[in-house]
Amino acid sequence: MTGFGRDLPDRSEGDDGDPMGELFKAMFGPGGQLPPELANMPGLPQDPAALQAMFLQVQQMLAGGSDAPVNWDLAENIARQAAAEGGDPSVGDAQQRAVTEALRTADLWLDRATDLPAAAGRTHAWSRSEWVAQTLPVWKGVVEPVAERVGQAMGEAMSSQAPPEIAPMLGAALPMMRRMGGAFFGAQVGQAVGALSREVVSGGDVGLPLLPAGAAALVPANVAAFGEGLGLPEDEVRLYLALREAAHARLFAGVPWLRAHILGAVDEYARGIAIDTDMIEQAVRQIDPGDPQALQEALSSGIFEPERTPAQQAALDRLEIALALVEGWVDEVVDAAARTSLPHAVQLRETVRRRRAAGGPAEHTFASLVGLELRPRRLREAAAVWAALTAARGVGGRDALWEHPDLVPGAESFADPEGFARGSGSDAGGQDLDAALAAILDEADRDGSDRDGGEEQPGDGSGGEAR
């Protein structure tokens, strides 16, 4: 290996006539060396042997001819391999019983901190690879719209901007480039999800609704790693993290619209992806079709990176607020449930807050890859809003705001939690809130009646965005 050690697997001499081999040569140079610009792409492992194994899988998957925007077979294989790096101990019976007991105890404690009912009670203790397998279906829904739109935007931009002399060659190469894009996106997503599996402590640790409604899970190996260096009893650490997971499960089980609201913001972000066609036009016109080095430089210059539109930024803002509200509510409810029963609840709360605010390496990788921030940067502000609402309206009045997306706090409440709570929490404000909720429900009933007596189904995520 040469350079950074980031070489593609060797190809045989007989591959010279293979279009895929030719495209690899054009992209990565005649020696198959990955340029430094591409070597630092998010999601690619730094270990040369791991990188070589990944690209070998990419080439094998490309031979299968999948045209999907993400090659999920490849993504799952790489994610499982990444999850197992450094070891992935299986979960024993004793760990399973400890996790089940912690999650059940957590649900009992949460009954005094929230009016939302307990989830169905499906509790799990997973290894890292099991976390990958169980959460991958939701990752597909998060990642695929983004990957599909990126591929479409690239194809549309290249086709519309290609000069006549290279249009035939480009048309023939587009299907192969789609397969390559799906394979590389799958490889990067697999690496990122696998790396996340070594960082998360539970099913809801990243904020997204990754588990089915009513399910809760802990990853014992990562729970143990979380507790290292804290000097606290293992049972107390496990129970605190179980409280957070059980609260997260309650929220998504008890608020039917919330899952669709969050995933809908991701989908709206994806639909707005656009490519700067002017930049592509300028780059394409400067490419000599007979010069592989020119193509290599163009591919690594960032000309295909999506540009963020105002609509996308609005979707991302809604997603950021929603994730912060979820994490802030969980933070407040868990603190209320734990502060009188766990000796080190305050220390554990602050540890979790710092961890979530900083984000792990895998979260940063995922943000670079898909353009989505998983960490709620406004966690403390959101928690302050929920705390103020609890003081002003009580547990029931606070949790009633989850009845409809138009009622939950918005960004303006973060600037003045006490003022927002007083406006919603005084007797007059409480009456106004109740009237607003009644008006929303009445309007929904009228809309359902207008559709031949049909009844509106909650949870479609299309309600008004959070104020």
Average pLDDT over residues 101-119: 94
Residue 453 banded pLDDT, cuts 50, 70, 90 = very low
pLDDT greater than 60 at residue 425? no
- Cβ contacts of residue 101 below 8 Å, gap of 6+? none
At 27 the pLDDT is 44
pLDDT greater than 70 at residue 373? no
Q: Give residue-wise pLDDT tens across range 26-76.
A: 444 444 455 554 455 555 566 666 666 655 655 555 555 567 778 888 899
- Cβ contacts of residue 105 below 8 Å, gap of 6+? 239, 242
Average pLDDT over residues 416-442: 62
At 370 the pLDDT is 61
Q: Give residue-wise pLDDT tens across range 2-25.
A: 222 233 334 344 444 444 444 444
Average pLDDT over residues 381-406: 94
Beta strands in 77-206 (DSSP E): 122-125
At 383 the pLDDT is 93
Count of CA atoms in the C-beta half-sphere (13 A) of 140 = 15
Average pLDDT over residues 401-405: 93
Residue 459 banded pLDDT, cuts 50, 70, 90 = very low
At 181 the pLDDT is 72
DSSP track, 158-193? HHHH--TTTHHHHHHHHHHHHHHHHHHHHHHHHHHH
pLDDT greater than 80 at residue 452? no
At 430 the pLDDT is 43
Q: How far is CA 40 from the centre of its chain?
A: 21
At 455 the pLDDT is 42
- Cβ contacts of residue 331 below 8 Å, gap of 6+? 349, 352, 353, 379, 382, 383, 386
Q: For all residues of the chain together, what is the average pLDDT?
A: 75
Cα gap 271→250, rounded to integer Å = 30
Residue written as token pair 């809604």: 318
Q: Give residue-wise pLDDT tens across range 170-199.
A: 555 566 667 777 787 888 889 889 988 999
pLDDT greater than 80 at residue 135? yes
First to last CA, the chain: 55
**Torsion angle in degrees (nearest 10) through CA of 417, 423, 427, 433:** -100
Report CA Rg, the chain.
25
Q: Give residue-wise pLDDT tens across range 209-265.
A: 899 888 999 999 999 999 998 999 999 999 999 999 999 999 999 999 999 998 888
Instruction: Write phi, then psi, for 227 (nearest 5 degrees).
Output: -80, -15
pLDDT greater than 60 at residue 352? yes
- Residue of higher predicted confidence among 290 and 122: 122
Q: Give residue-wise pLDDT tens across range 299-334.
A: 555 555 566 778 878 888 888 888 889 999 999 999
Cα gap 198→38, rounded to integer Å = 25
Written as six digits, the tokens of 314 are 């609005």
Cα gap 386→31, rounded to integer Å = 58
Average pLDDT over residues 320-349: 93
Q: Which of 310, 260, 254, 302 lies closest to 282, judged by CA?
A: 302
Highest mean pLDDT among 84-98, 201-215, 263-277: 84-98
- Cβ contacts of residue 239 below 8 Å, gap of 6+? 102, 105, 106, 342
Helices (H), 272-378: 277-285, 292-299, 310-338, 345-358, 361-370
Q: Assign residue 231 a region: left if phi > 0, alpha if psi is -120 to 50, beta otherwise?
A: left
Please state the pTM of the whole predicted model.
Answer: 0.73
- Residue of higher predicted confidence among 189 and 167: 189
pLDDT greater than 50 at residue 78? yes
Written as six digits, the tokens of 258 are 């919330």
At 439 the pLDDT is 62
Cα gap 41→105, rounded to integer Å = 43
At 464 the pLDDT is 39
